[in-house]
Structure 1
Amino acid sequence: MLRRFLSLLALCFMLPLHATDLSIDTNLGLHRWTAAQLLARPDVKNISIPSDVAFRRSMQYRAIPLRALLPELKHSDRLQFVSSDGFSVDIPADAILNQAGAEAWLAIEDSRQPWPALPGNKGDAGPFYLVWTHPADANISVEQWPYQIVRIQRTQDAATRFPATAPAASLPVSSPIRYGYTVFQRTCFTCHTLNGEGDAQMGPDLNIPHSPTEYLSDDMLRAFIRNPQSLRRWPEGKMFGFPTQASLSDADLSALLAYLRYMAQHKVSP
């Protein structure tokens, strides 16, 4: 019995750091890649990211241009990136097919040279991480840098997939609530659900049973979104704040709160 236990223990230490495959669903069907397979491709390059979003410092990666892994991708498509930690973000194909500035890369962690741990006790980023060169050229936001990616697939817009999250169609196009819905998708929907709908599983629902606008004052909610630890210090907290105008402008934050207040009056029980 002891020998069997020791054999199993030895096997655990022999396993690679990351055993997760990457699934990519394109018009050509589902394809699964291991890190070793991707690292063996001839289009892998060494790239430098001066201000990495996840690691908050300069990083060097072995990476592949993401568009090389997405044949038949059209400018009208949307892609969903799903991470093993429950994070999920939709990114328009336009950003990935962009040839004029920002370029999307799939960074691949080599188990023989693992990346450092993420700051703030947030675990590992590997084995697959979407990074961008020259992100400012296409206004790439911090939420569009998903790590721990396990699946990339085509998807529809959020209002079509999750109608209970969308404001009423009768609202004018210029309504701050409608724009706030756009901000919500970019900033909150990556980690939270609303009215029980959404793909992300990292944080609580933002409307059921209560919207944060129902138990936090406007000033406290603004402060919390800018810096979650300013309201409640929790070393294990995973939420990244939006501390600067570059990551979330005051106008965008106001529109987001208008949307959340509106949805608090339009609850849909899951």
Structure 2
Amino acid sequence: MGFRHAFALASLMLACASSLAASLAINVGGERSLTTEQLLARPDAATIRVPNDITFHRTMTYRAVPLRALLGITALAEGKELQITGTDGFVTHLSAKLLFGAAKQRAEPWLAIEPPDAPWPQAPGIGDIGPFYVVWIDPAASGVSSEQWPFKVDAIRIAPTLAARFPQIAVDKSVPADSPIRRGQTVLATQCMVCHKMNGAGDASMGPDLNLPHNPTEYFQPWVLKSFIRNPKSIRAWPDMKMPGFDKNAISDSDLDAVIAYLGYMAKHRK
């Protein structure tokens, strides 16, 4: 066997060993840890087809288990949500309504599991996303956002809602209920706080705080900020840039305006 063949075989064996060693921590009333092998061996593991996969931008096929069945619960207590963390510092929050809403037709979440003998392809602009990835069937039925497809998942747990844990992200009670500022708070918590903090609050660590020491509305003109959110590389780019663009399917024009209104409000309300 030549050196190159031996090296390739060793690399493959290392990759397989790494996948087999992967484990997922779950704490939804009882702490447990499940390995790739255990998850793939579950009787409810199935091959699923995911049209318009948000990460690969095409139809993908996965071995996966139903997320709700994996959790083993049918509801979340008031003021609680499901927190999903990734090894890259990404933190996603799924509300009780999104997970357990009583709609006749609702989006179905699955935990995709990367098989050791069939690794997933590299995601465009991202690279490896394994070993675990939350995907959705019919996401539009429940309004699943682009940032609620977490990959590189390493832990799933129940946690208090962001607003309950971090009052410094909340707008004042004097802000009208129908104000776009309030809508902006909700959108930012869902779409932006998976990577960023706000006023020091949040679980994510991939990106900078959006209000400390300065708010982007203080150094970007409104049209520049909108362009940056839509396509960051159109404004500034560097080799290690990680922020993705948010097209109109990810954040509508009205939601983008609401986010910017919230950011402008928070620039004057540092806490």
Q: Report the 3-state secondary structure (helix = DSSP H, G, I; strand = E; otherwise coil) of the residue aligned with 2:116.
A: coil
Q: What percentage of aligned pairs have identical amino acids?
A: 48
Distance 1:25 1:186 in 2: 21
2: CA distance, partners of 1:131 / 1:72:
19
Partner of 2:32, secondary structure, is strand
Per-residue CA shift, 1:5-50, capped at 9, x if unaligned? xxxxx799546234432111112x1111111110011110000011
CA contact (8 A) 1:73 1:93 kept: no
Corresponding pairs, count:
256
Letter in 1 for 2:191: T
What is the aligned counterpart of 2:24 among 18, 22, 25? 22
The runs of at least 4 aligned residues of structure 1 exceeding 4 Å deviation read 10-13
Residue of structure 1 in register with 2:71 after alignment: 70
Q: Distance in 2 between matches of 1:258 and 1:208?
A: 17
Q: Write out per-residue CA displacement over residues 173-216 of structure 1, whole angstroms, 9 at most, x where no aligned residue.
A: 12221111011111111110011111001101111111010000
**Residues 26 and 73 in structure 1, CA contact (< 8 A), matched pair in contact too:** no
* Residue from 94, 117, 124 that aligns with 1:91: 94
User: Which blocks of at least 5 consecutive residues in structure 1 are unaligned?
Assistant: 1-9
Shift of 1:112: 1.1
What letter is aligned with 2:244?
A: F
Match of 1:109 in 2: 114
CA deviations 1:125-163 (Å, max 9, x no partner) are 111100001111111111110001111111122111111
Q: Give distance in 1, aligned partners of 2:36 and 2:155.
A: 13
1:105/1:264 CA distance change after superposition, 3 Å: same
Alpha-carbon distance in 2 for matches of 1:90, 1:50: 23
Paired AA for residue 61 in structure 2: Q
Q: Paired residue for 1:119?
A: 124
Cα distance in 2, alignment partners of residues 265 and 235 from structure 1 = 33
Query: What SS does the aligned partner of 2:157 have?
Result: strand
Give 2:262's match in structure 1, choosing from 253, 259, 262: 259
CA RMSD of aligned residues (A): 1.8
Q: TM-score, normalised by structure 1?
A: 0.89
Matches within 5 A, 1:211-226: 211-226=215-230
**Structure 1 segment 197-212 matched on structure 2, within 5 A:** 197-212=201-216
